[in-house]
Structure 1
Amino acid sequence: MSTGLQPVITKAGLAAILTATKTGLSAEISHIALGSQAYTPSADQKTLRNEVARFPISSGQKLSSTLLHLTAVADGTTAYWVKEVGIFLKDGTLLAVWSHLTEALAYKAANIDLLLAYDLSLAALPADSVTITSMAAGLNLTLAEPLAALATALIAEQVRGMDLRDRVASQERLQRIAEEQISSLLARLSAAEKYASETRDSLLSLAVINATGLMTLQYNQIQKLLGA
Structure 2
Amino acid sequence: MTTTLIPQLLDAGLSAIQLASGDGIQLRITHVALGDAGYTPNAGQSGLHHEVVRYPVADGRIVGPRQLHLTALADDSAEFWVREVGFILESGVCLAVWSDPNRALAYKQGGLELLLAYDLTLSGVPPDSVIVQSTGAGLNLHLAEELASLAGAQIASQLVDLQQDAQLAALHTGLEDLAARTMRRTTEHANQLTALADTNRRAALRLDQLANQQSSAHDRLLEIQVASAAAILDLQTHAVKGVMK
TM category (shorter chain) comes to: 0.5 to 0.7
What are structure 2's unaligned runs of at least 5 residues? 155-245
Match of 1:101 in 2: 101
* Shift of residue 147, structure 1, vs aligned partner: 4.9
Q: Is the 8 A contact 2:115 2:148 kept in 1?
A: no
Counterpart of 2:139 in structure 1 is 140
Is residue 2:30 matched to residue 1:2?
A: no
Deviation at residue 103 of structure 1 after TM alignment: 0.5
Q: Deviations over 1:126-148 (max 9, x none)?
A: 111101111254x6334335657
Contact 1:30/1:134 (<8 A) preserved: yes
Q: Which amino acid aligns with 1:27?
A: L
Task: Name stretches of at least 5 consecutive residues in structure 1 with no aligned partner.
Answer: 156-228
Q: 1:57, 1:136 within 8 Å by CA — same for their partners in 2?
A: no
Identity %: 46
RMSD: 2.1
Q: Counterparts in 2 of 1:17-166, with a 5 A limit?
A: 17-135=17-135, 137=137, 140-142=139-141, 143-145=143-145, 147=147
**Aligned mates of 2:27, 2:148 — CA distance in 1:** 32
TM-score (norm 1): 0.62
In the alignment, the residues of structure 1 paired with residue 98 and residue 58 of structure 2 have an alpha-carbon distance, to the nearest angstrom, of 20
- Alignment partners' CA distance in 2, 1:27 and 1:148: 27
Structure 1 distance, partners of 2:55, 2:11, is 22
Rounded Cα–Cα distance in structure 2 between residues aligned with 1:108 and 1:136: 24
Give the secondary structure class of the aligned counterpart of 1:68.
strand
C-alpha distance after superposition, 1:94-131 (max 9, x if no partner): 00000000100000011001110110001221111101
SS of equivalent residue, structure 1 residue 53 = strand
C-alpha distance in 1 between matches for 2:91 and 2:67: 21
TM-score (norm 2): 0.58
Distance 2:17 2:31 in 1: 16
- Cα distance in 2 for partners of 1:145, 1:81 equals 21
Which of 5-14 and 71-80 deviates more? 71-80
Contact 2:10 2:46 in 1 (8 A): yes
Q: Report the CA distance between 1:61 and its aligned residue.
A: 1.1
SS at the partner of 1:4? strand
What is the alpha-carbon distance in structure 1 between the residues aligned to residue 20 and residue 108 of structure 2? 34
Q: Which runs of 4+ in 1 moved over 6 A?
A: none
| Equivalent residues of 2:2, 2:148 under 8 A apart | no
Q: Which has the larger radius of gyration?
A: 2
1:65-95 CA-partner distances (Å, limit 9, x unpaired): 0111011111211210000000010000000
Shift of 1:41: 0.6
- 3-state SS of the aligned residue for 1:15? helix
Secondary structure of the corresponding residue to residue 25 of structure 1: coil
Residue in 2 that maps onto 1:225: none
Q: Number of residue pairs matched? A: 152
CA contact (8 A) 2:2 2:117 kept: yes
Q: Is contact 1:36–1:84 with CA below 8 Å preserved after alignment?
A: yes
Q: Residue 33 of structure 1: SS of its match in structure 2?
A: strand
Q: What letter corresponds to residue 12 of structure 1 in structure 2?
A: A
SS in 1 for 2:88: strand
